[in-house]
Amino acid sequence: MLQPPHQPLQVAAVPSQRAPAREDEGGPWHAEAVCRRDEAGLFFAPSKEPTAARLAREEAAKRVCARCPVMVECREHALLQPEPYGVWGGLTAAERRVVLARRRRREVELRKAAATEPIAQAG
């Protein structure tokens, strides 16, 4: 089984299925993950983490993500799974929920628009 890009340390509620479900054609994207040796435990919340500490930790994790060469792949992975916990691709779990909600709304709007378009006449 593939190893996740970053290993949770001192985690509260991190699911066991942390390995990405897909690989890119050129190899697993997480092989290039900057956070592979996250010894500071930046990416997942320890239990009962105070809000100020969480915000500071998440910002630190996002700074790591900002210099990661696979940020886009990581983010899409976390959105597609979806990954319910931790910082992935520079987004917190709450931020990913917002992105997913926007995508769902956009899909609904596109479907509605497609349903109301006049059917093109052949020939």
- The residues that touch ligand SF4, with contacts defined as CB under 6 A, are 5-6, 30, 33-35, 43, 64-65, 68, 70-71, 74, 87-90
d(CA 58, CA 43): 7
The residue (of 33 and 45) whose beta carbon lies closer to ligand SF4 is 33
Q: Taking the complex as a whole, how short is the minimal distance between the CB of residue 38 and ligand SF4, in angstroms?
A: 8
Provide CB contacts within 8 A for 23, sequence distance 6+: 2, 29
Cβ at position 86, least distance to ligand SF4 in Å: 8
Residue closer to ligand SF4 by CB (options 67, 114) is 67
Taking the complex as a whole, the smallest distance from the CB of residue 78 to ligand SF4 amounts, in Å, to 8
Give whichever of 11 and 34 is closer to ligand SF4, judged by the CB atom. 34
> Which residue in this structure is represented by tokens 């992105």?
99
- The residue among 72 and 108 lying less far from ligand SF4, judged by its C-beta, is 72
Q: How close are the terminal C-alpha atoms of the chain, in Å? A: 54
CA–CA dist 78, 73 (Å, integer): 9
Question: Smallest Cα–Cα separation from 95: which of 58, 48, 66, 64?
Answer: 58
